[in-house]
Chain A
Amino acid sequence: MIGRVLDSSALIAWGSRSSPYVDAVIFSRTEHHGYVVPVVTTAAALTVALAQLPGKAAPVVEALLAMEICVVDELTPGSAPAVAEVLREAGPYAAELGVTAATIVQAAGRRSLPVVTSNPYPLTSLRPDLEIDLIP
């Protein structure tokens, strides 16, 4: 079993309780014995998700963040060059809007993990060979 990266659409699905598949992905990582099989997201994707979820969803998201399996990558001065490298491929006009997607692509790329998403196009436009775990 390998980990997964959750983009904002997957976090929204989790927070709004709208996807049994996202539930299953998270649940099955938690069932794994011995070592952590991570569920990774980024602070940027989390911000986008929280902005689109009603306030009552916040405790559900916070519960996920509190779990040992959950890892949140921050966008810091130290990580900015690698995220910028992803954005550079998209050209100057995509850069401003694509930061969130770029953090997800970078988080997945450095760990060689698939991304759980219902909207793969912003991600695959930045990296066509990105592995996608499409939410059914």
Chain B
Amino acid sequence: MTPEHDTPETRRERVYPDETRAQDLAALLDIIGTPDQAMLDLARRRDEEFAARRAHAA
């Protein structure tokens, strides 16, 4: 048995091709319609908070 998940994952950035991203965005907009701007702003603020915590911890 290989303990494949027992160590922190190294950061592996996967390329997000523009064409694939456009397809994903189209699928999303089809489901959710126009996203709520206040919620987008909240998600962005929380991203900044999480990033700040990481910077502080580093």
Contact = CB atoms under 8 A, between A and B. Distances in A.
Q: Do A and B belong to a common assembly?
A: yes
Interface of A: 1-2, 17, 20-21, 23-28, 30-36, 60, 63, 66-69, 73, 76-83, 85, 106, 109-112, 114, 131, 133, 136
A77 B25 contact: no
B32 to A, nearest CB: 5
Nearest to A23: B32
Size class of the contact patch on chain B? 35 or more
Contacts of A114: 46, 50
- Secondary structure dominating the interface of B: helix
Given A77-B1, A78-B1, A79-B5, A68 B35 contact: no
Nearest to A34: B16
Given A23-B32, A82-B6, A68 B50 contact: no
Given A35-B15, A81-B1, A136-B42, A60 B35 contact: no
Contacts of A106: 5
Residue among A66, A78, A85 with max Cβ neighbours from chain B (10 Å): A78
A28 B4 contact: no
List the 10 closest pairs (A to B, CB-CB), nearest first.
A24-B39, A78-B4, A20-B36, A79-B5, A82-B5, A35-B13, A36-B14, A82-B6, A20-B39, A23-B32
